[in-house]
Chains A and B, each alone.
Chain A
Amino acid sequence: MEPLIAMLVIPLALGLASYASPRPRATQALTLGGGLAVLALSALLVAQGTSPRSSMGGLLYLDSLSVVLLAAVAIVYATSSVFAIGYLRSEERAGDFPRYVRSFYSLLNFFAFTLLLVPATDNLGLLWAALELTTIVSALMVGLEGTDSALEAAWKYILIASAGLALALLAVVLLYASGTPSLGSSYQPRWTALLGNADRLQPRTVSLAFLLALIGFGTKAGLVPMHTWLPDAHSEGPTPVSALLSGALLADAMYAVLRFNAIAVRALGPDFSRTLLLVFGFASLLLSALFVLRQHNFKRLLAYSSIEHMGVLAVGTAFGSPLASYGVALHVLTHAATKSMAFYGAGSILRKLKTREIGKVKGLLHIAPATGLLFLAAALALSGLPPFGVFRSEFLILAGGSSRAGGWFVPAALLIALVNLAFLGVFRYTNGMVLGAPPASVRRGEPSRWMMGVALAGDQRP
């Protein structure tokens, strides 16, 4: 438990310190140290083993699934704390730089704190509150640039996510109410307790609770058709925030869906939640693949790719076999590492060429070879090509789906088809950006070594 408490205290303390600190350099160094420390602590938790344990009456809780999520968040937090140094370099001469750094870093650290809190609790009320806090903090970060489109994206995001989370809160209340006949009129809404007594919960209330949880938390996870805030927020926010939103926040929201799914499966049998997950999962896969194919903005391209990967997670969860569940857990990790790396590449391009238009980026291999190679590798990895980790996790999900007796052949085949469709889109555009002849006016050279080093550090092998 102690590593977990330290993991929560470090970003919280750094958030306060960043707000108080008058010196940008010190803030950046502290956050860098904090991010790396949290990453080391998450590795320690992985090494400690996976037996479920809780403290403080279930307010803090750890099992293997939450350790996976903590590791995913820690990877993105640590890498973004490195990347941010390079990303903010070009702003250093601006007059309001110290003020910008103050808000940026305090929000970044608070955001990391709320992201780490979500998978670290057994109390569904606290889990909901932590997810709502992630919205509140990250909406400010999305609007941080202060441009018209950034503010519009932030407004859209906080409004839609709050509406979704309101439904999720209703789901928590209904799940609680479904347990009052058997667990007593007043009890702690602990996930382990509800799971243990799932067969004594009122089935009809549980089914409504699961539906609301899937729609509510699914809004945060970017499942279609509740995804409309996601491409805007991901493309308008500062790039380190995009990486955290995509790699860590979406996974946290899916984590909440997974917890509700476990209870629903035990209380209602697997069919009810499986059907719903397949519907939302395939809707997300199909729509994101189509939008990837006709995208002009490379940050939005990555955002739609995130929707696609959340669809993969939903479908994998629906398969439900042990192998598929293992694949889902691994996919959370590989997607976090890969997508954040892709966003770092995108942010690096954005800083170098000052554009988000795919058509205006050409010949990256000549302009900035490291950035170009990195972006290409990230795009290939995201598309699920071997030898990258996403290939392995998607393969496991597919194997888990098709190995079932009676077979999930049609969904599995559909999954392959849609993933490949998205791959086509991502690959087509990145090819054009990385290869080809560069425009003559652009000077060669990498934008910043801080931005490069981190991206390569994201472990890509399974």
Chain B
Amino acid sequence: MPVLVAAGGLAIALVILMQFGLLRSRATSGQTWLYSFESLFVAAFSTIVGLATGNGELYVLAGVTLVAKVALVPWLVFRLTSGLEERVKDEVPLSLGVPSSLISALLLTGIAFAAAVRLPLAGPLLPSSGFAMGLAVVLIGFLFTITRLNTISQLLGILTVENGIFLGTVAIAPGLPLLVGLLILFDVLMAVLVFGVLVRFLAMRHSTVTTSHLKELAG
């Protein structure tokens, strides 16, 4: 059991590390890889909690996560960006610089911890820190989405938010029925496809994926 606790803690730490790395990364390719690795560590945490509880459904969820979020979604995103010019992909414009983003992310992590320890959460493995880190990933994902002015990065930001929720769910509610977990993953895949269609159309009309021209509608 202590081995599992240590391994679970390591997986959680790696997830949050990837999320911080996302704020550092300026190229969409690097961001996509970081998302893929983050999903891998989320799947690892799910497997570890499965080992701790003997709940086989968690292995299934980990497996589906591997196929869908570690492999399929990054592949789709890479395909989406393949036709775009280098300048756009390698230097995503920011509305908040990297150092300020990282400091804000540290603050958000603190807030997530402060909120999580106030809740009487129960779970088989690291419920409080797992949920706190899941919440931190959610908040940092939102920060990333609103400060990265590029449709690909915004899509990845929303996807990491979902990763954070998945991490928190495995920590505090590993018994959530498999059907619900699969439905959520199905929705994620559908959303990626639709986001992809819109990115393609926007890119076709403006030959770029930055969001700077998306400010026609107001009031």
Contacts and interface: CB of A to CB of B under 8 A. Distances in A.
Contact of A149 (B121, B194, B216): B216
A180 interface: yes
A158 B120 contact: no
Interface stretch (A185-193, A268-276, A345-353): A185-193
A132 interface: yes
A153 interface: yes
Nearest to A304: B219
Interface stretch (A71-79, A169-177, A416-424): A169-177
26 contacts: A125-B183, A129-B183, A136-B187, A139-B198, A148-B213, A148-B216, A152-B215, A152-B216, A155-B151, A155-B198, A159-B145, A162-B158, A166-B138, A173-B169, A173-B173, A177-B173, A180-B122, A186-B55, A186-B175, A186-B176, A187-B177, A202-B120, A205-B119, A205-B121, A232-B217, A294-B219
A136 to B, nearest CB: 5
Interface in A127-145: 128-129, 132-133, 135-136, 139-140, 143
A166 B158 CA distance: 8
A324 to B, nearest CB: 32
Interface of A: 123, 125-126, 128-129, 132-133, 135-136, 139-140, 143, 146, 148-149, 151-156, 158-159, 162-163, 166, 169-170, 173-174, 176-177, 180-181, 184-189, 202, 204-205, 208, 231-232, 236, 291, 294, 300
Nearest to A142: B198
A185 B52 CA distance: 14
Contact of A177 (B115, B121, B177, B214): B121
Given A136-B190, A204-B120, A152 B217 contact: yes
Nearest to A129: B183
A423 B139 CA distance: 39
B contact face: mostly helix, strand, loop, or mixed? helix
B44 to A, nearest CB: 20
A133 B151 CA distance: 20
A135 B187 CA distance: 10
Nearest to B141: A166
Interface in B140-181: 142, 145, 151, 154, 158, 161-162, 165, 168-169, 172-177, 179-180
Given A151-B202, A151-B205, A180 B190 contact: no
Contacts of B176: 125, 173, 176, 186, 189
A146 B201 contact: yes
A173 B205 CA distance: 40
Given A126-B180, A202-B120, A158 B191 contact: yes
A200 to B, nearest CB: 13
A152 B214 contact: yes
A380 B57 CA distance: 55
Contacts of B201: 143, 146, 151
